[in-house]
Chains A and B, each alone.
Chain A
Amino acid sequence: MSEREFIVPVGPQHPALKEPESFLFKVDGEVVLDVEPRIGYNHRGIEKAMEARTYLQNLYIVERVCGICSNAHQTCYTQCVEEVLGMEIPERAKYLRVFMQELERIHSHLLWLGVAAHEIGFDTLFYYIWRDREVVMDLLEMVSGNRVNYAMPTIGGVRRDLEVADFPKYHKMLDTLKERTEYYIGVCSSEKTILERAIGVGYLSKEDAIRLSASGPNARCSGVSCDTRYDLPYLVYDEIPWNVIVETNGDVLGQVLVRVKEVLESVNICKYVLDNLPQGPIKAKYSPLGKVPEGEAVSLVEAQRGELIHYLQSRGDNKPYRYKIRAPTLGNIPSLVERLKGGFIADIPIVLAGIDPCFSCTDRMAFVDEGKDRRWDMTGEQLRRYGIRWYEK
């Protein structure tokens, strides 16, 4: 078997938002043998900066760790700090936090679905989905005042309240989302263009998903029933009726089905919250310059992409001594590598997009095909078009 060397560093830009990242692929002909991810383009030194700011100032930098999961990071942060403070937040605040988190899950999954459609070359679906996603963006703006980076959770509760008079409007918007999502489930399960690119592509078995500590929809599409909202319940997820969505396909189609069905689950949770919102205050008392007693806490939250963990060590100051954040995608990289092995070069864009990566990755992909002694670079866009052309044959 002859091996050829191709190095394909892909340019650090991608039309459908991707974060900067570099991959080194070892290929043999059209088949991928091994992958080495090179991350760190998005490293801003946040953990160090957090040690120099007060707890309330950190709320706003934590939000900007990732713009799509900003609410998840804030929920996790406030939970962590409140646990060390020993503070119990009011019931109404818990329900409102759940409401915001599920709305963000809807917006993120719809965004992902559009991007995945774009990766396959199905641009019409991309535009349709993003047009329908504007419904949830409007809802977010009505509730929190901003389309992205809502800053709703704060230490002690939430920052803004909902007006009962607006509930019928919210219900109507949620019903629209439900109807459109059901339409997209139908499209994704039956449209030949999608099925051809998605079935059997990027397969990961259940054993591998457990062995490599995968989490989130990435693991649930391979049959692993793990969801932080169910395993380690926080806020009021143990009071609200909802289901963990698990698919057994293990391939890209499984990723699509898990996420789209989760949108429906989230819509149901949001409607339940609106119908069962308890009365009461939305914030407990917290003084902005207050000191946090000595202690440590681990906070786990089910973000859109998987399991998110924050770890705080406090030494009795008004600034954290050590704050550790691990975003879900870092945990999903080993399983991503496993998915790519044995696949074709043409499948790389969709498998990469399949795990819903959220590290500023500049689609910089390098290919190494040991044998032909050639080093070759490909940009994300070229790779995407290569994949589309390859399947058209």
Chain B
Amino acid sequence: MSVLEENIKVVEGLVKFLGKKNILESKVPRARRAFVSVPREQLIDAVKYLRDEEDIKHVTTISGVDTGEDFEVVYHLRKPDLSISVKVRAPYDDPVVPSITGVLEGAVLYEREVYDMIGVKAEGHPDLKRLILAYDWPDGVHPLRKEWDIQSLRKRVDGTEWGRK
């Protein structure tokens, strides 16, 4: 069986496990890459299935995206010959996703980074606090949200405006 066929089998297994109505999107654009979109309530089950049935134990990173309508959190997992990205969405007024640190311990720092930069909380995280931004950075200002651009960020945090005069 070729690598592409094996990857498709993994995704089909996940779809079957969660039930078709729980998969919002799934694609295998090329060999060794897969993208799956699930509702946030199913995230823990999906990751557990991938860990137990497909031996996917390595978390590469977690990306937070401000899509303009809500927040999207992408979990990049991998094993030899497959990098699979599991996406969940959280609305603006409830930016919370379940934490996967109980299933995959390697995610502990990435969830803190997402919290710092985008403001999405990982519920159940053992120690959710700031990771990268300075100690005197104001609370509630999450730089990677689309409401901020660089000029307005500097003005808000520093009181100055950048400009090449």
Contact = CB atoms under 8 A, between A and B. Distances in A.
A and B interact: yes
Interface of A: 39-40, 43, 45, 47-49, 52, 210-213, 215, 226, 230-232, 296-298, 300, 307, 309, 311, 313, 322, 324, 326, 330-331, 333-334
B78 A311 contact: no
A279 to B, nearest CB: 27
A297 B33 CA distance: 9
A298 B33 contact: yes
Contact of A334 (B105, B132, B144, B148): B105
A322 B65 contact: yes
A43 B108 contact: no
B139 to A, nearest CB: 15
A43 B83 contact: no
Contact of A45 (B60, B61, B74, B143): B143
Interface string B132-146: 111000000001100
A48 B157 CA distance: 15
A232 B149 CA distance: 36
A232 B150 contact: no
Contacts of A307: 60
Interface residues of B, number: 40
B102 to A, nearest CB: 13
Contact of B57 (A210, A215, A324): A210
Interface string B37-61: 0000000000000000000011111
Contact of B61 (A52, A211, A309, A333): A309
Contacts of B66: 322
Nearest to A41: B134
Interface in B123-161: 130-134, 143-144, 148-150, 153
Contacts of B57: 210-211, 213
